[in-house]
Amino acid sequence: MASGGPSFGFICTRQRLVRQLPGRLVGRTVDRHGKPGFTLTLQAREQHIRRGKARSNICTNQGLLMTAATIYLALMGAAGLERTASRCHAQTRELIAALTSVPGVHERFDGPFFHERVIDVGRPAEAVADAVAEAGVIGGLPLGRYYAELDPELANCLLVCATEKRTARDITAFRDALAGVLAQ
């Protein structure tokens, strides 16, 4: 992700289980030549540097990201996070309703969701996403390049979402751009 650039994530557990969390998580991938590759995706800085020799407690930009996230979470508080999550979910429901009103577009899976949903656009999604992008709209993530071997029908699917920052105008623009592309 991001060419190895900074990123972070959260692992949550109950207090009584904290001591059972792993000290390291190893990620596995395959390079472009088909060879397996491994990376430590969770590790503590102290595992590599003796405390007496360490010059800082921040490993790389991940430390900066974690500081920013901590400040954001502290400012938002539990009620603010709940409001934001509710808004994300409501916006995505509105987005899905708008996009599935376009002829030929339907939801690919049933079941609950938070703020991402898979839609089937009835033709290769990669080309649809590119055409929608030309209209100035980020048209979702084409799933074919990741999952086509698992399910060939996913080549026609986009993963779409709407965060709390999306407006009704944004949703309408996405619907109109998608409708225009699919009408061609």
Q: Tell me the residue range of the domain where 129 lies.
A: 85-183
Question: Based on the domain organization, do 9 and 53 belong to the same domain?
Answer: yes
Q: How many domains does the chain have?
A: 2
Question: Based on the domain organization, do 34 and 90 belong to the same domain?
Answer: no
Are the C-beta atoms of 158 and 174 separated by less than 8 Å?
no
Helix axes 125-134, 168-183, angle to 10 degrees: 120
Does the pTM surpass 0.75? The reply is no
**pLDDT, the chain, mean:** 86
CA distance linking residue 143 with residue 149, whole number of Å: 11
Are the C-beta atoms of 159 and 140 separated by less than 8 Å?
yes
Q: What is the pLDDT of residues 109-140, one digit of tens each?
A: 999 999 899 999 999 999 999 999 999 999 89
| 161 strand-pairing partners | 116
Question: Based on the domain organization, do 46 and 130 belong to the same domain?
Answer: no
Question: Based on the domain organization, do 89 and 68 belong to the same domain?
Answer: no
Q: What is the pLDDT of residues 57-66, one digit of tens each?
A: 555 566 778 8
* Residue 34 burial class via C-beta count within 10 angstroms: exposed 0-12, middle 13-18, buried 19 and up: exposed
Question: Based on the domain organization, do 22 and 93 belong to the same domain?
Answer: no
Question: Based on the domain organization, do 91 and 73 belong to the same domain?
Answer: no
Q: Which of 19, 48, 77 is the last residue of a domain?
A: 77
CATH number, domain at 140? 3.90.1150.10
